[in-house]
Structure 1
Amino acid sequence: MAAGPGTTADTGPTARIGEEEDEHVKPFTPEKAKEIIMSLQQPAIFCNMVFDWPAQHWTAKHLSEVLHGKQIRFRMGMKSTDTVPQFETACSYVEATLEEFLTWNCGHSSTLGPFRDYDYSKFWAYADYKYVASLFEDKTDIFQDVIWSDFGFHGRNGRESTLWIGSLGANTPCHLDSYGCNLVFQVQGRKRWHLFPPEDTPFLYPTRIPYEESSVFSKINVVNPDLKRFPQFQKARRHVVTLSPGQVLFVPRHWWHYVESIDPVTVSINSWIELEEDHQARVEEAITRMLVCALKTAEDPHSTRAWLNPTEVEDTSHEINCLYLNRAVSAFFDHYRASKTVEIQVLRTNRECMKKEELNMHNLLEVEQTGSQNLTLGTVKQKAASSFGPALVPVLPSSEEPPSQRGEIFKNDGKDLVGKDGEHFGKLHCTKKQQMRSKSENALVEPIASNSTGAPSQACISTDDLLDCLVHPQVTKIVAQLLIQGRSL
């Protein structure tokens, strides 16, 4: 099996075992695996670490038998797509059993089944983000089939995991996760991962619309980018790897990723590993939630469908969001107060950041590493890199240019997958001061208020445009630091 782009060696089944290794001995102890995960700053594939996991038998067929006809929600997307990402808010949804999914996936059409309106040749289906604890709530013994303790996280199993089942072409839009790092165990079929480092955030054009807590989306369809609209994307360093059954991918904190299924049926299991940085990240997410909900609800109080991700079902009222923010800040202090390190690890860094007088726009849009990470980064990288070998394969930058057509991505797979927002402007509530604006200002505002297509594009600043600036990851980081610093004085 050929290695995917971005790998340095074959990572198929024959390469999972070193020449001198016993196939029944894992290449890393739990302690060593955890040391690698907590220190490595680049994606990597663990091989030969899960050969004895019962979960390796969690194929879609096996799971359909275990679940005994349980209804699951599938996200339906088009196999043919343009340069615009296929966000979850633009997809339709189907409630179906895994048996019905497998029947449809074999190309067997049905005029009565739940997939009757979806031609298999044109659509893909994805049962994504399914919490194992909820899916198998009446079969808790199955949690033990997933053994994350082999990676040093004792007590972590299927209860803390998420299941993903998809058909050919199923994909997740490019995004970064605000919390933790990620371990992904590929069970069935192959998935192709496109990854970009945190430093490339300015080139990925981040947005929080659609809004989902802990997910920062990119405006770009990374497999078919619109380089005229997003020219900075050409500077992004793409890392591409194909993850095969039996392999475990490590995705470090804040690495962007776009994931696509390249086999007829794919099954994977993942778990997010909590990190020290998550305490401040939760404050940043609470700030983001408050601003997005306040502005988008004010824009159109009657509908959240266009901007709230389907995974977000919690109350979005301002009162609830204020409570959420206060709890996040309190939890931050509770954590650091217990270890008595808040002044050293956070406040000193915050004050030093605020004292910098030469903070220009370029620096504002750069994604920084925390001070504590920078102190040991060189040593950590060198130490983690020493573990690379047949059982730990680094995911390196791809030498390929970003494809201009989606078909190029699949040219080695034998199959060629073929596959602005409307804005609402309410009435402007004018105060006396606003009524005194100049005629030129009125001439600018009136076409916008009437949603005129003749208005200059640079003048049509939407709520989403404003939010892209207000809740840019680097901006919310600074606001969170100011909040924390103000509460500590």
Structure 2
Amino acid sequence: MATDCEGCAPGTQAAITVAEEGERVKPFTPEKAKEIIMSLQQPAIFCNMVFDWPAQHWTAKHLSEVLQGKQIRFRMGLRSTDTVPQFETACSYVDATLEEFLAWNCDQSSVSGPFKDYDHSKFWAYADYKYFVNLFEGKTDVFQEVMWSDFGFPGRDGQESTLWIGSLGAHTPCHLDSYGCNLVFQVQGRKRWHLFPPEDTPSLYPTRIPYEESSVFSKINVVNPDFKRFPRFQKARRHTVTLSPGQVLFVPRHWWHYVESIDPITVSINSWIELEEDHLARVEEAITRMLVCALKTAEDPHHPRAWLNPTEVEETSHEVNCCYLNDAVCAFFAHCGKAKEVEMQALRANGENWRKEEPMGQDHMEAEQAHSQSFTAARTEKQEVTCLFGPDLVAVTPASDDPPSEKGGALENDSKECIDRDGEHAAEVSCARRGASTVVGQVASRCPVAPSRTSVSTDDLLDCLVNPQVTRLVAQLLIQGKSL
């Protein structure tokens, strides 16, 4: 018999097999789910895969009882709308318990405590990037309540997961993750996802300021873009989807995403799945880290928080970064030593082709495909997976409406209302942008004073030096030189 899709809103019939004794059967075996994840090159929503996970009951209220007064850090942002992204370096931070967050989120005018200076009608709060191993110290039994093994990753549970709790309007700036692909389980409330494919990277105006090892940010506020300043963004192919409780979103490698909470309280759990491509990506990231830290600390060594994301807590000295780069290169060769020799040969051939055949202005999609082909030869053809799309695996398509799991009408209004209220802290970010130092010293003394609009800042230089295409080429050249 068939029943309503628990991972999908009422109104969509899903082909869920039910045994005679009433036991529900998941639509995909772990092996098939992993095959989909490792081969599919577009975002998709899994339905009816987590109905037996204990973590499906992890509401913010439940978690407040589990954490028993433990303080966690919330990022505070303004709901006002602006065309400038509200990066984490421009936000305020509050240490509070989930009980205090829930009381503030009820919009009580007389609320006291750590949120007392934040008007609920003007601010949102986000407890983001909370790794289970840090959050649930001494409560490791809760790790077993998240079962990524159902998606083909045996032994993977909460220990490799991250928790996100936010209020209405809470969001992450548009970015791509340097490593792996992403599985996101929505527990409470709904989140609106804006996604863009890797080949649209030039249209997203990538930047590494603020710097975070695993994230490449976009200069654009994708829900309120400034097309005059960023005209190429009009060519970007936006994919939008609203993720509801019980659903799991698959985000492929290097897909850009902006995520916003459109309900009063949202709770999500995610896990980044490691990929073969990560070994080279770590070398690229180490190169980026060395260049960014060298230039930015030389510019203003006493105020790293103006450019360093709060999530980056490691030391940023040049000596440490040199060790970091060497470790990344050594790890890459150690991996290649264990893998087939054909992988190394393919990488070298790929690097030679890059140098001989590709012009510097080549489209990002071709560079991305060339980079990944050497590691993905064994993957299942995409066409074999797309035939599985249906009520239990919903494709996220360009400029799409919500998947069949969502009822029309209300969600569009909710999203628009969220965009109207959701915004960026323009003054702080603009001041940080205007405060970037321009090139001075001997070079400047020999050059005539240029108009401010043409002056080159450290950030302008970094945007070129650590552009993903450039660091990819540098990493390949570095590895080729060391492998001769």
State TM-score, norm by structure 1: 0.88
Change (3 A) 1:135 1:14: farther
Which of 435, 443, 457 aligns to 1:423? It is 435
Report matched runs for 1:387-426 at 5 Å.
Answer: 387-398=388-399, 411-412=413-414, 415=417, 417-419=420-422, 420=430, 421-425=433-437
Match of 1:457 in 2: 453
Distance 1:414 1:255 in 2: 23
Q: Deviations over 1:275-317 (max 9, x none)?
A: 0000000000000000000000111111111100000010000
Task: Give CA-to-partner distance per residue, 1:307-331, whole Å, 9 cap, x none.
Answer: 0000001000000000000000000
Determine helix, strand or coil for the equivalent of 1:182.
strand
Distance 1:263 1:377, change over 3 A: farther
Q: Is it true that 1:44 corresponds to 2:29 in the alignment?
A: no
Instruction: Indicate the residue corresponding to 2:483 in structure 1.
Output: 488
Deviation at 1:14, TM superposition (A): 4.8
Task: Find the aligned partners of 2:379 and 2:303 in 1 and give their Cα distance.
Answer: 49
In the alignment, does 2:24 pair up with 1:12? Answer: no
Closer, same or farther: CA 246–19 of 1 in aligned 2, 3 Å: closer
Cα separation, 2, equivalents of 1:220 and 1:116: 31
Deviation at 1:224, TM superposition (A): 0.3
Spell out the pairing of 1:121-160 with structure 2 (5 A cutoff).
121-160=121-160
SS in 2 for 1:169: coil
- Whichever residue aligns with residue 430 of structure 1, its letter is Q
- Once residues 371 and 328 of structure 1 are traced to their aligned partners in structure 2, the CA distance between those partners, rounded to angstroms, is 18
Matched, 1:274 2:270: no
How many equivalent pairs are there? 455
Percent same amino acid among aligned pairs?
A: 71
Cα distance between partner residues in 1 of 2:364 and 2:11: 46
Residues 199 and 363, structure 2, Cα contact 8 Å, conserved in 1 = no
Shift of 1:371: 5.8
Secondary structure of residue in 1 paired with 2:442: coil
Q: Give me the whole-angstrom Cα distance separating, in 2, the residues matched to 1:26 and 1:19.
A: 7
1: CA distance between counterparts of 2:365 and 2:296?
24
In the TM superposition, residue 377 of structure 1 has moved relative to its aligned partner by 9.8
Give the 5 Å matches for 1:357-376. Answer: 359-363=359-363, 367-370=367-370, 373=373
**Alpha carbons of structure 1 residues 379 and 96: separation in structure 2 relative to 1, 3 Å:** closer
How far residue 344 of structure 1 moved from its aligned partner, in angstroms, is 1.9
- State the superposition RMSD in angstroms: 2.3
SS at match of 2:84: coil
Q: State the match for 1:354 in structure 2.
A: 355
TM-score normalised per structure 2: 0.89
Query: Aligned ranges for residues 19-418 of structure 1 at < 5 Å?
Result: 24-110=24-110, 112-341=112-341, 342-356=343-357, 359-363=359-363, 367-370=367-370, 373=373, 380-398=381-399, 411-412=413-414, 415=417, 417-418=420-421
Q: CA deviation at 1:390?
A: 1.1
- In 2, Cα distance between equivalents of 1:176 and 1:486: 29
Runs of 4+ in 1 over 6 A off after TM superposition: none
Tell me the equivalent position of 2:3: none
Is the 8 Å Cα contact of residues 200 and 364 (structure 2) preserved in structure 1? no
Counterpart Cα distance in 2 of 1:368 and 1:86: 28
Say which SS state the counterpart of residue 14 (structure 2) adopts.
coil
**In the superposition, relative to structure 1, how do residues 323 and 267 fare at CA in structure 2: closer, same or farther (>3 Å)?**
same
1:387 deviation in Å?
1.4
Structure 2 SS opposite 1:370: helix
Q: Is the 8 A contact 2:179 2:275 kept in 1?
A: yes
Cα 1:244–1:16, aligned 2, differ >3 Å: closer, same or farther?
farther
User: Is the CA contact 2:39–2:379 (under 8 Å) kept in the aligned structure 1?
Assistant: no
Shift of 1:100: 0.4
Q: Deviations over 1:38-95 (max 9, x none)?
A: 0000000000000000000100000000100100100000111200001000000000
Classify 1:152/1:379 alpha carbon distance in 2 versus 1 (closer, same or farther; 3 Å): closer
Instruction: State the alpha-carbon separation in 1 of the partners of residues 111 and 377 from structure 2.
Output: 61
Mapped to 1, the partners of 2:275 and 2:379 lie a distance apart of 19
| Alpha-carbon distance in structure 2 between the residues aligned to 1:394 and 1:79 | 31
Residue 362 of structure 1, CA deviation: 3.8
Distance 1:366 1:351 in 2: 15
Q: Deviations over 1:10-36 (max 9, x none)?
A: 942553731666671000000000000
Q: Could you tell which deviates more after superposition, 21-30 or 279-288?
A: 21-30
Q: Tell me, yes or no, if structure 1 residue 471 matches structure 2 residue 474.
A: no
Q: Is the 8 A contact 2:104 2:111 kept in 1?
A: no
- Distance in structure 2 (CA, Å) of the matches to 1:362 and 1:348: 18
Q: Quick one: which amino acid aligns to residue 190 of structure 1?
A: R
Q: CA deviation at 1:170?
A: 0.3
